[in-house]
Amino acid sequence: MREDRISFSHLLPVVDLALLVLLVIVPITLTSVHLYQASKGATQIHIHSGQFEMSLPRDQIVPWAIRAETMPKARIMMAINLPGTLVQKLISLSSRTSSPGGWHPQALALETWQALVFPFFALPFWWLVGCGLDALLNKERLHWSLLLTGTLLFGLCVAALISFCFPMPAADRIDLALWIRSFAGWTVGFVILPIAWIAQWIRQRRNPPASPDTSF
């Protein structure tokens, strides 16, 4: 690979974290700054929006901003980072007090936890897809374990998409629309690994490794 070319295995995880900053961290920061400015040093701030009305202690501005900005974003952050569900499941297995949505710290709402940590849970999967792109575009050789992992994940996504094809109530299909799109997107991402595996096999067949010179 050329030294001046950006590796997709580095770029995709960076893009994932950039989305976290853009969609979650920046709104939390802007909301907190706006509320601190609106409080004008008072111990409490009065929040009024439509039928919603409450008084918020000044020292609770940041926790409230975190909840307010993460809870509506949880579904989209989970959809973008869908494979992070596997990591969440592994963490939840070790906890006997897990909620239906999986383990999360008691100090955080489940949606807040999902919005903040799923991008980190999914980093290995973004890296894996990036490795597949690097191998395919730059004709790099990947270890069979990475190719096998990507192929299995591709198979899981295909199986999930097939399950969505079975008849279901219209209301359920509407509720699952985001997840169907997410599985479709990750299917496209993971299919790169079996394609790279096939391309690597073809290259090896065309250019077999040279036999060691045994002459004396």
Q: Does residue 216 belong to any structural domain of this protein?
A: no
Q: Does residue 214 belong to any structural domain of this protein?
A: no
Q: Does residue 111 belong to any structural domain of this protein?
A: yes
Q: Does residue 213 belong to any structural domain of this protein?
A: no
What DSSP state is assigned to residue 59? G
- Full domain range(s) for residue 131: 1-207
* Residue 160 burial (C-beta neighbours within 10 Å; 0-12, 13-18, 19+): middle
Cα–Cα distances (Å) from 211 to 134, 140, 204, 205, in that order, read 28, 21, 13, 14
Q: Does residue 81 belong to any structural domain of this protein?
A: yes
pLDDT digit string, tens, across residues 7-27:
999 999 999 999 999 999 999
Helix (H) or strand (E) holding 54: strand 52-57
Please name the residues in contact with 156: beta carbons below 8 A apart, sequence gap of 6 or more: none
Greater confidence, 51 or 20?
20
Give the count of domains, the chain: 1
Q: Does residue 212 belong to any structural domain of this protein?
A: no
Q: Does residue 215 belong to any structural domain of this protein?
A: no
pLDDT digit string, tens, across residues 87-143:
998 888 876 655 666 788 888 888 999 999 999 999 999 999 999 999 998 888 899
| pTM, two decimal places | 0.85
